[in-house]
Amino acid sequence: MRRAPLSSRSETLLRDGGVNVSHDGSGSLGSCLRPRSPMRHVVDADKLISMNAAEFEAEVLRIARAMWPQAENSGAAIVGGRERDGIFITEDQVALIEATTDRTKAKAAKDGKKLDDLARDYGRRYPMHAVKAWFVTLHEPTADQRQVIKALKNAAVQPVSFSQFRSRLIDARAYLEARSDHPFGSARSLDETGSYKELGAYVGLDILETGSGGATWTVQDMSTRLADGGRLVMLGDFGAGKSMTTREVFFALAASYKQSLSMRFPVHLNLGEHVGQTDPSEALARHGALIGLAAPHQLVRAWKSGYAILLLDGFDEMAATNWSGDANLVRDARRRAVQLVRAFFASSPSDAGLLVAGREYYFDNDDERREGLGYGPGTPQLSLNDFTDDQLQAFLQRKDIPTWLPRRPYLLGYLSARHLLPTSDFQAGPAAGWSHLLDGISERESRPDAGIAGRVVREILERLATYARSTEDGLGPLTFEQIAHSFHDVVGRAADVNDYVLLQRLPGLAVGDPVTGTRKFIDTALADAVAAGDPLRFALDPHSDHLGFDPRGWKKTISALGAEVLAYRIDDAALVASQGVGKRGGRSFRGV
């Protein structure tokens, strides 16, 4: 069922969410940060921010208190028998404020005279202070209002719109522009360019609220809830589209802010860029510096004053610094790793939205996740799902889709971008597609900074598939020791701190037993395809010592898909040996 509208308070023009794909076949998992069509977001003048006089005055004073937190006297006051909306006195500055929603010339004349008199008075009382007086209007001051203020001939008195006044706290538009030139998690074009900017049109995904009886959310629903100060947790496995969806939420909220439909603007952090940080203020300042913001500290002020909607992507990328066979020690390490997220939940203003996203199986169960991240039982947990048949057809712009194709957005996007999808007049088998697909998955999870190439990631998964064949279904469970041994078998050394991120978030693995914290393969076809790796190496070189490869304990025979992938890779190896032709060279089964 579809979820009912969440609130009438947020009058926002937002879009449904989904996955991007361009019609030239270059699939992608994210959206362009700038509007892809000027008709997508049309400003409705009747939907601009609307507040009564008291609400507007309170909002202006909230901004002022955030700008001058050290002021001894702050807020409304009676001076000379007349009420003043705001007076703020710091060590070196006096700020005087009159705020109004009235657009008449008479109002400007009245408030302007009050500010002029007050500014001259405080100039005499505080001769060593800079005195500034602000005539703040909800909308842009009219020409008549500006003329009245100018006629006062007092440079200390300035007419400004609410937007201009707020920009002194944080230049949100400058932030949104700077943020658009920085990557959004793992959202990339899946063609050879790997661009995080040049992405295609958007196809909707189903976003289910867990434990709700089937309620579905859209990007619009999520954005509306966040704009209203709600908190959300979004979960999904590898390739489900978490970064893409978070990016789309950012884009929708940014459009709403730019069109004056919301007073709050989105701030998006890639948590993988903040490993080891525990203080939200330090993380926000670092984020501002990373994207090239001229005044990074402004983000901290905006967050503390409740004007920032936080989008925290990738809690699973915050590496735990302990890898042990003891499940309790691993849980403690995970909890320490996400201390920053927990601090954001604890310290963020109660009326400011917050979204955190990450892999569902990073934690062993819901209780560990809630306690580790620091959110309460009332916080909705949203789960990203694979494509339905209709969404798949919209994504690929075709209806003749083989049943073996995976329904996961990233996997499909990769096949599409590499032209590995079978054409309508030639249906390729799954072996070639899965083999190239595993190369793409492994390359995406590689860590060049730690010396872990995509090939190494694939061989680790293949070794884990060998361990899994010792179980009845060939999926697991896989223990911490087996994961660590697989790394050692492939790399030739024990895993260190820099390798923990990879080992704790290997693609295609889910929690097997919440009590012991074991993992297992989430997809039978994926496990079957990677299970071909160790037999391939043995077939090509049967006389070498293949460390860790012991078929005597196997309970699961290789499947038909695994045998096809094995045969395909043996054929490829023979081709390379005899002709020097790469995996894709001259292959007639490739799609166009």
Lowest mean pLDDT among 43-52, 245-254, 517-526: 43-52
Chain Cα centroid distance, residue 79: 49
SS (H, E, C) 446-461: CEHHHCECHHHHHHHH
pLDDT the model gives residue 352: 92
Exposure string (b/e) for 83-98, b if CB count within 10 Å is 16 or more?
Answer: ebbbbbbbeebbbbbb
Q: What is the pLDDT of residue 49?
A: 62
| Mean of pLDDT values over 391-407 | 70
Q: Is the pLDDT of residue 111 over 90?
A: yes
Q: Tell me how far apart the alpha carbons of residues 440 and 428 are, in angstroms, rounded to a whole number.
A: 18
Residue entry with tokens 């989430």: 522
pLDDT band at 320 (very low <50, low <70, confident <90, very high): low
Q: What is the pLDDT of residues 132-143, one digit of tens each?
A: 999 999 989 999
**Residue 232 near residue 66, CB atoms below 8 Å:** no
Contact of 245 with 251, CB cutoff 8 Å:
no
Please determine, for residue 124, whether its predicted confidence score (pLDDT) is greater than 70: yes
Which tens digits make up the pLDDT trace of 534-550? 899 888 888 777 666 77
Task: Tokens 């100060």: give the residue.
Answer: 229
Q: Quote the CA–CA distance of 320 and 587 in Å, as a whole number.
A: 43
Asked whether the predicted pLDDT for residue 44 surpasses 60, the reply is: no
pLDDT above 90 (res 67)? no
**CA angle in degrees (0–180, nearest 5) for 175-178-184:** 105
- Structure tokens that stand for 517 in this block: 């914290």
**CB-CB contact of 101 with 56 (8 Å):** yes
Report pLDDT for 187.
73
Binned at pLDDT 50, 70 and 90, residue 473 comes out as confident
Question: Which residue has better confidence, 92 or 204?
Answer: 92
In the predicted structure, residue 330 carries a pLDDT above the cut 70? yes
Query: What per-residue string of b and e applies to 472-508 under the rule 16 or more CB within 10 Å gives b?
Result: eebbbbbbbebbbbbbbbbeeeebeeebbbbbbbbbb
Does residue 582 have a pLDDT over 60? no
pLDDT band at 317 (very low <50, low <70, confident <90, very high): confident
DSSP 242-278: HHHHHHHHHHHHHHHHHTTS-S-EEEEEEGGGGTT--
Are 22 and 201 in contact by the 8 Å Cβ rule? The answer is yes
Confidence of residue 450 (pLDDT cuts 50, 70, 90): confident
What does the alpha-carbon distance between residue 364 and residue 511 come to, in Å, rounded to a whole number? 6
pLDDT exceeds 90 at position 321: no
pLDDT at 189: 64
Residue 586: pLDDT above 60? no
Name the more confident of 587 and 577.
577
What whole-number percentage of the chain has pLDDT above 90? 38
Cα distance between the two ends of the chain: 38
Going by pLDDT thresholds of 50, 70 and 90, the confidence category of residue 500 is confident
Confidence at residue 513, expressed as pLDDT on a 0 to 100 scale: 65
* 511-533 pLDDT, tens digit each: 666 557 788 887 788 899 999 99
The pLDDT tens digits for 428-448 are 578 887 887 788 788 878 877
| Percent with pLDDT over 70 in the chain | 77
Helix (H, G, I), strand (E, B) or coil at 166: helix
- Per residue in 351-391, pLDDT (tens digit) is 899 999 998 878 888 999 999 999 999 999 998 876 777 77
How far is 521 from 432, CA to CA, in rounded Å? 21
- What angle in degrees, to the nearest 10, is found between the helix axes of 172-179 and 297-304? 120
User: Is pLDDT above 60 for 18?
Assistant: no
The single-letter DSSP state of residue 294 is S
Tell whether the model's pLDDT for residue 95 goes beyond 50.
Answer: yes
Of 269, 237, 271, 322, the closest CA to residue 499 belongs to 322
Cis peptide bond prior to 477, omega within 30° of 0: yes
Average the pLDDT over 2-24 and give the result: 36
Mean pLDDT of the chain: 80
Residue 398 has pLDDT above 60, yes or no: yes
Residues sharing a CB contact under 8 Å with residue 283, sequence separation 6 or more, in sequence order:
269, 274, 277, 340
The predicted pLDDT at position 412 comes to: 67
pLDDT for 255-306, tens place per residue? 999 888 888 999 999 998 998 899 999 999 999 999 999 889 989 989 998 9
Report the 10 Å Cβ neighbour count for 580.
Answer: 8
Q: How far apart are CA 140 and CA 154, in angstroms?
A: 20
Segment among 14-18, 176-180, 248-252 with least mean pLDDT? 14-18
Q: In the structure, what pLDDT confidence band is assigned to residue 424 with cuts at 50, 70 and 90?
A: low
Take residue 198 and report the two structure tokens written for it.
Answer: 């040049």
What average pLDDT does range 159-172 have in this prediction?
89
CB 133 within 8 A of CB 115: yes
Report whether pLDDT(324) > 70.
Answer: no
For the chain, helix, strand, coil in percent to 5 are: 45, 15, 40
